[in-house]
Structure 1
Amino acid sequence: MAEASQSHNRAAEAPRNGGWTIAQNWRSYTQDEHDRWSRLVARQEKLLPGRACDAFLEAKETLKLPRHCIPDFSKVSDRLSRLTGWRIAPVAGLIPDDVFFDCLANRRFPAGAFIRSERALDYLSEPDVFHDVFGHVPLLADPVYARFLEAYGKGGQRALSRGQLHNLARLYWYTVEFGLIRSSDGLRIFGAGILSSPGETVFSIEDTSPNRIAFDLFRIMRTKYVISDYQQIYFVIDSFEQLLDQCYQDFGAFYDRLQAARDIEPHELLPDDHVITTGDLRYFRTRH
């Protein structure tokens, strides 16, 4: 996977802006890398209408994300900043948790400045420019969602100090990465991990395998998740306002209760779950 190494190396060797952020160095991208972005975008744009939430589709157009070349972070940031005050912070790869939370708390979204290799077109374990900018950035143009992510960042330091980051990470996973939202036309996607994956875009909404249950903050913070496969459970919010309200409350009581509560396996349903669809787990039984 030489091209992945070259892309990572260019990002790692880019001039530092101080701390963990780097200069994007947009002119360093090759035509092959721009072409790869174009094909990734085209593939997702065929799948997302009728599956992605309206807020995402509208924000993507508002931000004028280019279809035929990797976005210039500074140009997208200028548009985004005028809407919600957020900017994109280019990084070479994964960053420490405290740095990540500090970025979010200050309305900076850390985005990988490299693009996946041709071999990793369908799946990449480390977030790249397509996952981060195509999947995450558009919803930062939504004022309510943008405030939610800022509040999440501010809550991160407390979770770290209490040794309960794993609980808060589950909230991010099941909302920011793999969240579903109700609409008048049915369930829609808002999680970036789904929006940037062709397979999970269809699976999360249409497959009979996964359980889908209504958002419950305490339940989510107890629920384990699958990292390298489709999710066995999806949580469904009613609105971004609901998400924001939940994150504006004091998590201290939740953390105290969580210390005495057992973890829940991803495939489990509990008697008090508000189940929207009960999965048959067919996909997972076949796989495992």
Structure 2
Amino acid sequence: MSIAAPEHRTEQPPAQHIRTEQPKAQHVRRRELAAFLRSRRERITPEQVGLPRGPRRRTPGLRREEVAQLSAVGVTWYTWIEQARATHVSAQVLDAVARALLMDPTERAHLFALAGTADPRTDPECPVVSTSARKVVERLAPYPAALQNARYDILHANRPFAQVFGDPAELPPAERNCLWLLATSERWKRDFLDRDEMLRDLIAKYRAAMAEHVAEPAWKEQLDRLQAVSGEFRELWGRHEVAPMSPHVKRYRHPVVGLIRLEHRNMWLAPQSPAHRVVAYIPADEESEERLERLAELSAE
């Protein structure tokens, strides 16, 4: 069965009217999507997808009707997509077309990005951290630093981070997350003097970040777990507050060296890992810097 075009569309949509109502950026995005699909279609041979070539083939690669057949999408609807006339393409159609055109993960991600649609079949994020990213984090000592993803998972942390906030490696993988720790950890509740304000701010940042990943299973699973274990999280999440990524000075009470005031600074590892960032905790004053250095000396003894 073919996936038909939405019922409210006519067979001959007023293309010029659509262009005037859509923002220019969306029109450019549709044109890029159309061009990308044509280029992918033209590079696939019939033999690659189990179709006969036939004696009179003039089109390089596959024909539009062949892509529609392989992906179970209506021929008219697929044609509109390649003509930049489709104002919205569903994730179901994009998934089917990506499979029909034998797209690799990078091409598939580009396809969904051009369509402005979240990919519901995004593979789980690889937990392996590159050697270069680890070196960046380690070289920031004696300042605490950690590699995090967009969901605030702690992928790697240096020794000063472990000394100040606790060692993430000692926790189950599902709990190595800043939002989880801020909502549930007794240590973080005790030692983070601005903990209540920090939790509200981090939840607002998390909601803002999640807007681009709302259909991804990993984000939904994490949200469900947080709502299940923390009534405080549920109450704050229900406020629908959003906040931008911005540096903040936070106060931490360390049981050995005392009060430390640190400013959070993000360093993005783009373009290779656009969702990964190194979070460095920089002393906000000389006294805090001296206490971090003292902590490093104690660990070396």
Q: Which TM-score tier does this pair reach, normalised by the shorter chain?
A: under 0.3
TM-score by length of 2: 0.25
Higher relative contact order (CA 8 A, sep 6+): 1
TM-score by length of 1: 0.26
Q: Which has the larger radius of gyration?
A: 2
